[in-house]
C-alpha cells in the first residue's frame, strides 16, 4: 500500500489506452452485472407469503392449450385446497398495440374466489364490493393505473384477438399486490356470456389456494395424478414456477445466461491482459531503474499488479452504475412478462460478486506480465530496446 499512489499514476500514464481499456471493461462488467442480477432474480428470489400458498394448474403440454372448466370443481375437492378460481388470459388490444405501454396482462377470474386467493391484495372495501357486484367491472394494479392514468370510473375497451369479442370494462378498483404488476382482472362470466357456447367451457389455468405451504407439493401431485389419464392431462406447479414458465419460452434461460457470463468474463480477461502486457513492455527499462534504486522483485510485482487492479476497479464502479440503470429499465419492461424481474436491481451480493470478479481478473491478467518483468535482471532491463 505504500506504493499505491505510484501504481495509480502509472495506470493512467497512457490516458487514451487507459480510457479505452476502462470503457471496454466497464461495458463488459455492466453486461455481467445485469445478467447476474437477472439470474439471481429468476432463480433465487424468495417467494412471498402469498406465493408460498398458491399453485397453478394448467395444460401439461403448453400454456397455449386450454383445460376444461369442469376441472375446477374436481380440483376443489382435493384435500388441502382452500379456494379455487379459473383464470382466462384474454389478450386483446388496448388502443394501439404498437405502443408497448399499452400492453398489460388481462385476466378473467371469478371475483369472489379470486379475492380470497389473493391474500396480499390491498384494496378498499367499497371497491371490493363493486368488483363482486358489477359484472362489467375490472380492477387494476396501482402501477398500471399510474402508467396509463386510469382512475375509478374510467372505461377500458379491449378488442379481442384470442377471443373474437370486443369488451368494455369499467374500472371499479385499484389494488396493490406484491405478486401482480401491470395487471387487470375482470369477471370471467362477462367474457363467457359474450362467447359462443362452444368456447365457454374452457379455461387457461386454474389458480389454487392451499391451506398451508406444506400442502402445495402434495396438492400438485394429487391433481396431476387425478388427470393423468384424462384428456387433457395437467401440470400443477407453484406460482413462482409458473411465472418462470413464461421465461422458458426463450429456451434454457439458465444455460443461456451462464454462457454469456462466461463469455463476458473471458473477454474482460483478454482485454485486461493485453493492456497490461503492452504497458509492461513499454517500461522494461523503468523496471531496471527501479531495481537499481533498491526496489525488490516483490515490490515491482505488487506495483504492476496494483495498476491492473486500479483499472479493473475503476471500470467495475462505472460498469455497475450503468448496470443498475439498465437493470431498473429491464425491471420496468419485463415485469409484465416475468414477475420476478419486476423492480429488478443489483443486490449487494451481486455488486460484491462483480467487484470480486473485477479484482480477480485484474490480478490474473497482470500476474504473468508482472512476474516476467520482475524477474528480469537489471542489465537486461536497461539494455531492452522493445
359 belongs to a structural domain: yes
E-state strands within 33-182: 54-59, 67-68, 81-89, 105-109, 137-141, 155-159, 166-175
Question: What domain count does the chain have?
Answer: 2
**Do 29 and 141 reside in the same domain of the chain?**
no
CB atoms within 10 A of CB 312: 29
**Do 159 and 294 reside in the same domain of the chain?**
no
Among the candidates 171, 200, 231, a domain finishes at: 231
- Best CA proximity match to 186, nearest among 197, 201, 200, 170: 170
What confidence score (pLDDT) does residue 339 get?
A: 60
Would you call 106 exposed, middle or buried from its count of C-beta atoms within 10 A (0-12, 13-18, 19+)? buried
**Do 259 and 214 reside in the same domain of the chain?**
no
Q: Cell triple for residue 303?
A: 506495483
238 belongs to a structural domain: no
**Do 41 and 91 reside in the same domain of the chain?**
no
**Do 269 and 148 reside in the same domain of the chain?**
no
Long-range contacts of range 18-23, CB-CB < 8 Å, 24 or more positions apart? 18/311, 21/271, 21/272, 21/275, 21/311, 21/315, 22/311, 22/314, 22/315, 22/318, 23/315
Q: Cell triple for residue 126?
A: 367499497
* Nearby residues of 216 by Cβ (< 8 Å), 6 or more positions away: 52, 53, 54, 55, 210, 238
Phi/psi for 265 (5° steps) reads -60, -45
| Domain boundaries, position 87 | 66-231
Whether the predicted pLDDT of 386 surpasses 60: no
Range 191-213 average pLDDT:
90
* Nearby residues of 352 by Cβ (< 8 Å), 6 or more positions away: none
What confidence score (pLDDT) does residue 102 get?
A: 83
**Do 210 and 275 reside in the same domain of the chain?**
no
Query: What is the enclosing helix (H) or strand (E) of 186?
Result: strand 183-187
Whether the predicted pLDDT of 56 surpasses 90: yes
CA distance 171 to 131: 9
SS3 306: helix
pTM over 0.75: no
Phi/psi for 159 (5° steps) reads -95, 120
CA distance 304 to 9: 11
Range 231-255 average pLDDT:
76
**Do 207 and 75 reside in the same domain of the chain?**
yes
Most confident of 160-164, 294-298, 379-383: 160-164
SS3 170: strand
**Do 79 and 150 reside in the same domain of the chain?**
yes
CA distance 115 to 366: 60
Whether the predicted pLDDT of 222 surpasses 80: yes
What confidence score (pLDDT) does residue 259 get?
A: 82
Model confidence at 361, pLDDT cuts 50, 70, 90, reads: confident
Q: Torsion angle of alpha carbons 270, 321, 244, 52, nearest 10°? A: 130
CA distance 316 to 222: 50
Residues linked to residue 93 through DSSP beta bridges, in sequence order: 159
CB atoms within 10 A of CB 364: 14
User: For all residues of the chain together, what is the average pLDDT?
Assistant: 84
Q: Cell triple for residue 171?
A: 374500472
- Best CA proximity match to 90, nearest among 148, 170, 151, 169: 169
**Do 30 and 74 reside in the same domain of the chain?**
no
**Do 210 and 301 reside in the same domain of the chain?**
no
Whether the predicted pLDDT of 347 surpasses 80: yes
Amino acid at each position: 500500500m505504500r506504493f499505491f499512489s505510484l501504481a495509480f499514476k502509472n495506470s493512467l500514464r497512457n490516458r487514451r489506452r487507459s480510457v479505452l481499456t476502462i470503457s471496454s471493461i466497464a461495458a463488459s462488467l455492466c453486461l455481467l452485472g445485469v445478467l447476474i442480477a437477472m439470474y439471481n432474480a429468476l432463480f433465487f428470489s424468495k417467494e412471498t407469503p402469498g406465493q408460498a400458498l398458491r399453485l397453478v394448474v394448467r395444460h401439461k403440454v403448453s400454456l397455449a392449450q386450454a383445460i376444461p372448466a369442469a376441472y375446477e370443481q374436481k380440483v376443489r375437492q382435493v384435500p388441502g385446497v382452500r379456494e379455487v378460481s379459473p383464470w382466462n388470459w384474454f389478450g386483446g388490444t388496448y388502443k394501439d398495440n404498437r405502443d408497448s405501454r399499452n400492453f398489460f396482462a388481462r385476466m378473467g377470474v371469478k371475483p369472489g374466489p379470486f379475492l380470497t386467493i389473493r391474500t396480499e391484495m390491498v384494496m378498499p372495501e367499497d371497491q371490493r364490493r363493486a368488483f363482486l357486484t358489477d359484472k362489467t367491472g375490472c380492477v387494476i394494479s396501482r402501477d398500471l393505473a399510474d402508467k396509463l392514468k386510469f382512475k375509478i370510473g374510467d372505461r377500458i375497451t379491449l378488442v379481442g384477438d384470442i377471443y373474437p369479442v370486443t369488451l368494455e370494462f369499467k374500472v371499479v378498483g385499484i389494488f396493490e399486490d406484491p405478486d401482480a404488476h401491470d395487471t387487470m382482472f375482470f369477471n370471467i362470466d362477462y367474457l363467457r356470456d359474450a362467447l359462443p357456447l362452444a368456447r365457454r367451457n374452457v379455461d387457461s389455468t386454474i389458480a389454487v389456494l392451499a391451506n398451508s405451504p406444506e400442502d402445495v407439493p402434495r396438492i400438485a401431485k394429487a391433481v396431476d395424478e387425478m388427470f393423468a389419464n384424462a384428456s387433457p392431462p395437467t401440470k400443477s406447479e407453484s406460482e413462482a414456477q409458473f411465472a418462470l414458465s413464461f421465461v422458458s419460452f426463450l429456451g434454457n434461460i439458465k444455460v443461456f445466461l451462464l454462457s454469456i457470463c462466461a463469455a463476458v468474463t473471458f473477454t474482460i480477461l483478454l482485454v485486461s491482459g493485453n493492456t497490461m502486457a503492452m504497458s509492461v513492455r513499454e517500461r522494461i527499462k523503468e523496471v531496471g531503474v527501479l531495481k537499481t534504486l533498491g526496489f525488490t522483485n516483490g515490490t515491482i510485482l505488487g506495483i504492476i499488479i496494483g495498476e491492473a487492479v486500479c483499472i479493473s476497479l475503476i471500470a467495475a464502479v462505472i460498469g455497475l452504475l450503468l448496470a443498475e440503470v439498465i437493470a431498473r429499465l429491464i425491471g420496468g419492461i419485463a415485469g409484465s412478462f416475468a414477475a420476478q424481474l419486476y423492480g429488478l436491481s443489483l443486490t449487494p451480493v451481486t455488486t460484491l460478486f462483480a467487484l470480486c470478479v473485477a479484482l480477480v481478473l485484474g490480478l490474473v491478467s497482470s500476474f504473468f506480465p508482472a512476474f516476467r518483468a520482475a524477474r528480469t535482471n537489471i542489465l537486461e532491463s536497461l539494455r531492452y530496446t522493445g
